[in-house]
Amino acid sequence: MYHEPILELGEEPLVKPGSTLHDITEDVCRVAESKMPRAWYVAFSIALVFVAIFAVSVATLFWRGIGAWGNTGPTFWAWDITNFVWWVGIGHAGTLISAVLFIFRQRWRTAINRFAEAMTLFAVLGAMTFAGIHVGRPWVIYYLFPLPDQMSLWPSFKSPLLWDVFAVGTYFTVSLLFWFTGLVPDLATMRDRATTPWRRRVFGFFAMGWRGSNRSWRNYERAYLILAGISTPLVISVHSVVAMDFATSIIPGWHTTIFPPYFVVGAVFSGFAMVMTVLLVARKIFKLERVILPRHLDLMNKVILLTSCLIGFAYATEFFIAWYSGNPYELYVFKNRAVGPYSWAYWTMVVCNVIVPQIFWKKSMRTNVPVMWVVSILINVGMWFERFVIIVTSLHRDFLPSSWGMFHPSIVDIGTFTGSIGVFFAGFLLFMRYLPVVAMSEVKGTMAQADPHYVAHHAEPEDGVSRESAAAALAMEAES
């Protein structure tokens, strides 16, 4: 049975020194309990505008057909699938941070995992939306599911697209369960602090009568461990399957064995970037500096730097193999990416994903909030272009030059894409408005006070007692 290891000697604390357990509860719950700051309302109304744009765009799409988008022969897929893959990718940070870092005992994850998981849910929702609306006849999309019907016909399990349906569906469900499981103890906290009866009822309902009983904690922790355990391969499998949509095809530029790992890394990369983008803003607005320390950001930036290098390596490998394979079609596609009509997209991608993140080699950059925020935005852009490059530049010039063509996005393309971002943030803002944005019980578990051997003889100061004493105590502990 696994316990969060407690603060070891010399280890930097994961929360602001001197914080008490109660401080954590206060800091986190305040966000969801007190009135939202001005900034929240501004952000939310902007998001709503884009939600409207999204609604209109999708309505147009359904009314006229896929032709309302810029998709055409030979680029039968374009922004629709680009957005799908982009959102799925972003959706990977959540489970990764929660599960993988949990397995690797990266205790610093506790500050950000709740964020990341919530983000996962909304991102994957976005992805599923695009998967749903990109089909020509959405009203018969149920053909995708193995339902008995009077045609006595079943879906074809040979199609990677169907694998996708199961993979993404599973991923969303499991992420939801994982997120909710982690939420239960904190919901109990919200319940116990609730002042109005309806808050009490709602939070109470979802807290399912959690009593922090140790007999429950025992099963709870095991469940959490198992979920983390199965989510880790799930994360990897899901984006591998998404990659197989392309890898199992025969289109030069798609038919590549490197795709699954390459996509997974890309997903982690973009996911962390998006977490960063959102986290920094929330940290500022909701004054979470106490739980989200520069150290956390530093560590995340290290991950970003690592994945950025891996991505760069993947790009290089693709080119090498294209040359080494001696396949003229393959080689042409990659030449075309670098110098063809879409080279601008390709180089945007390279700069944003490989060049820019290199500044994180400098520690000062890794802890400089404005810088990392800009970088994270650029990475989001870069990763979107990566998918665009893979999909459009591979399709627009494949085997027979006679069928080559160009893709031009329509206004509806732009509407659906930007709109989906609006939907994402709207959902996310609501999450921050009503739910604990940091996993309190987990953070508390990492604190000095969580350690039973923590100076028993002078108990944790009562509320209101100056924090200095606690800090002193901590210092003493550190020396002895």
**Residues 284-343 contacting other proteins, CB under 8 A:** 328-329, 332
183: nearest Cα among 478, 450, 431: 431
**HSE-CB for 138 with a 13 A CA cutoff:** 15
**Site for other proteins, residues 68 to 97, rule: CB under 8 A:** 68, 70-77
- Contact between 238 and 167 under an 8 Å Cβ cutoff? The reply is yes
Chain residues 123-142 in contact with other proteins, contact rule CB under 8 A: 134-138, 140-141
Structure token digits, residue 232: 């880790």
Q: Say whether the peptide bond before residue 155 is cis (omega within 30 degrees of 0).
A: no
- The answer to whether 241 and 163 are in contact (CB under 8 A) is yes
Task: Considering the complex, state which of residue 9 and residue 456 has its C-beta at the smaller distance from other proteins.
Answer: 456
Minimum distance of other proteins from residue 357's CB (angstroms):
31
The span of 114-122, 222-230, 364-372, 413-421 binding other proteins (CB under 8 A) equals 222-230
> What's the CA gap between 103 and 312, in Å, rounded?
27
Determine the Cα angle at 433 with ends 427 and 435, to 5°.
90
d(CA 176, CA 178): 5
Q: Is 41 in the site for other proteins (CB under 8 A)?
A: no
- Cβ proximity to other proteins: between 108 and 220 the closer is 220
Tell which one of 459, 464, 479, 480 touches other proteins (CB under 8 A).
459
Closest to other proteins by CB, 219 or 257: 219
214/364 with CB nearer other proteins: 214
Stretch binding other proteins (CB under 8 A), from 101-109, 291-299, 306-314, 450-458: 450-458
Binding of residue 107 to other proteins (CB under 8 A): no
Going by C-alpha positions, the residue among 355, 349, 371 that lies closest to residue 301 is 371
Stretch that binds other proteins, among 213-221, 278-286, 306-314, 369-377 (CB under 8 A): 213-221
Which pair of tokens denotes residue 131? 């998967």
- Of 84 and 417, which CB lies nearer to other proteins in the complex structure? 84
CB of 153 to other proteins, least distance (A): 6
> H helices within 142-159, ranges in order?
none
Residue keyed to tokens 């019980």: 441
Q: Of 35 and 457, which CB lies nearer to other proteins in the complex structure?
A: 457
Q: For residues 292 and 274, what is the distance between their CA atoms, to the nearest angstrom?
A: 16
Segment interacting with other proteins, rule: CB under 8 A, options 161-169, 268-276, 280-288, 357-365: 161-169
Please report, as residue ranges, which positions from 171 to 200 form the binding site for other proteins (by CB under 8 A): 173-174, 177-178, 180-181, 185, 188-189, 191-193, 200
Taking the CB of residue 279, how many other CB atoms lie within 10 A of it?
Answer: 25
Identify the residue among 112, 127, 144, 279 touching other proteins (CB under 8 A): 144
Q: In sequence order, what are the residues at sequence separation of 6 or more whose Cβ sits closer than 8 angstroms to the Cβ of residue 9?
A: 478
Minimum distance from residue 15 beta carbon to other proteins (Å): 13
- The Cα–Cα gap between 311 and 354 comes to 7
Of the ranges 144-152, 280-288, 313-321, 355-363, which one interacts with other proteins (CB under 8 A)?
144-152
State the minimum distance, in angstroms, from the CB of residue 13 to other proteins. Answer: 16
Residue pair 8/105 in contact (Cβ under 8 Å)? The answer is no
> Which residue, 150 or 364, has its beta carbon nearer to other proteins?
150
CB 56, min distance to other proteins, A: 18
Interface residues for other proteins in 226-255 (CB under 8 A)? 226-227, 230-231, 233-234, 237-238, 241, 244-245, 248-251
Longest dimension (CA), the chain: 84
Provide the CA 469 distance to its chain's centre, in angstroms: 40
Site string for other proteins, 9-28 (x = CB under 8 A): -----------xxx--x---
Q: How far apart are CB 273 and other proteins at their closest, in Å?
A: 26
Closest CA to 51 of 125, 112, 1, 104: 125
Q: What is the rounded CA–CA span in Å between residue 376 and residue 460? A: 39
